[in-house]
A and B are shown apart, each in its own frame.
Chain A
Amino acid sequence: MTNEAIIQLKDIDVTFHNKGQTVTAVKNVSLTVERGDIYGVVGYSGAGKSTLVRVINRLQRPTAGTVEVNGQDILGLKPKELRVARTKIGMIFQHFNLMASRTIADNVGYPLKGGDLSHEERQEKVAHLLDLVGLTEKAADYPAQLSGGQKQRVAIARALANDPEILISDEATSALDPKTTSSILELLKRLNRELGLTVVLITHEMEAVKEICNKVAVMDAGEIIERGDLVTIFSRPEKPLTQDFINTATQVDQAREKIFKQARTLGLDDHHRLVQLQYVGASTDAPLITELYKRYGVVSNILYGNVEILQDTPLGNLIVVMTGEPDKLSAAWQYCQDAGISVTQLQPTDPEVA
Chain B
Amino acid sequence: MNFIAKYFPNAVTMKDEFVQATGETLYMTFITAVVAGIIGMAIGVGLIVTQPGGILENRVVYNILDKIVNLCRSIPFVILLAVIAPLTRLIVGTAIGTTAAIVPLVIGSAPFYARQIQNALSEVDRGVIEAAESVGSGPIAIIFRVYLREGLPDIIRSSVLTLISLIDLTAMAGAIGGGGLGNLAINVGYSRFENDVTIAAMLIILVLVFAIQLIGDLWARKVDHTA
Partner-B contacts on A (CB < 8 A): 57, 59, 79-80, 83-87, 89-91, 93, 95, 97-102, 110-111, 113-114, 142-144, 155, 158-159, 161-162
Contact = CB atoms under 8 A, between A and B. Distances in A.
B145 A57 contact: no
A114 B142 CA distance: 12
B90 interface: no
Nearest to A58: B133
B13 interface: no
Given A83-B137, A99-B150, A158-B135, 13 more contacts: A86-B134, A90-B134, A90-B135, A91-B135, A93-B127, A95-B125, A99-B128, A100-B226, A110-B135, A111-B136, A111-B137, A144-B227, A162-B135
A85 to B, nearest CB: 8
B10 to A, nearest CB: 50
A95 B149 CA distance: 19
A124 B205 CA distance: 52
Given A113-B141, A142-B225, A101 B136 contact: no
A144 B134 contact: no
Contacts of A90: 134-135
Given A93-B127, A113-B141, A114-B141, A101 B134 contact: no
Interface on chain B toward A: helix, strand, loop, or mixed SS?
helix
Contacts of B145: 110, 113
Nearest to A142: B225
Contacts of A110: 132, 135, 145
Given A110-B145, A162-B136, A91 B152 contact: no
Contacts of A57: 134
Given A97-B127, A98-B128, A102-B149, A89 B225 contact: no
Interface in B121-152: 125, 127-128, 130-138, 141, 145-146, 149-150, 152
B145 to A, nearest CB: 7
Contacts of B225: 100-101, 142-144
A142 B223 CA distance: 11
Given A98-B128, A113-B141, A144-B227, A89 B134 contact: yes
A252 B125 CA distance: 40
Contact of B136 (A84, A142, A155): A84
Interface of B: 125, 127-128, 130-138, 141, 145-146, 149-150, 152-153, 223, 225-227
Contacts of A143: 225
A159 B150 contact: no
Nearest to A86: B136
Nearest to A85: B136
A52 to B, nearest CB: 15
Contacts of A144: 225-227
Nearest to A143: B225
Contacts of B152: 101
17 contacts: A79-B138, A86-B136, A87-B135, A93-B127, A93-B131, A97-B127, A97-B128, A98-B131, A100-B226, A101-B150, A101-B223, A110-B132, A111-B137, A113-B141, A142-B225, A144-B227, A159-B135
A155 B131 CA distance: 9
Contacts of B125: 95, 97
Contacts of A113: 141, 145
Contacts of B146: 99
A158 B145 CA distance: 15
A305 B76 CA distance: 78
A158 B136 CA distance: 12
Contacts of A87: 135-136
A102 B150 CA distance: 8
A83 B131 contact: no
A155 to B, nearest CB: 8
Nearest to A103: B225
Nearest to B126: A97
A86 B131 contact: no
A111 to B, nearest CB: 4
Contact of A59 (B128, B134, B149): B134
Contact of A97 (B131, B137, B153): B131
A306 to B, nearest CB: 37
A93 B149 CA distance: 21
Contacts of B150: 99-101
A59 B138 contact: no
A161 B153 CA distance: 27
A49 to B, nearest CB: 16
B221 to A, nearest CB: 13
Contacts of A155: 131
Contacts of B132: 110
B134 to A, nearest CB: 4
A91 to B, nearest CB: 4
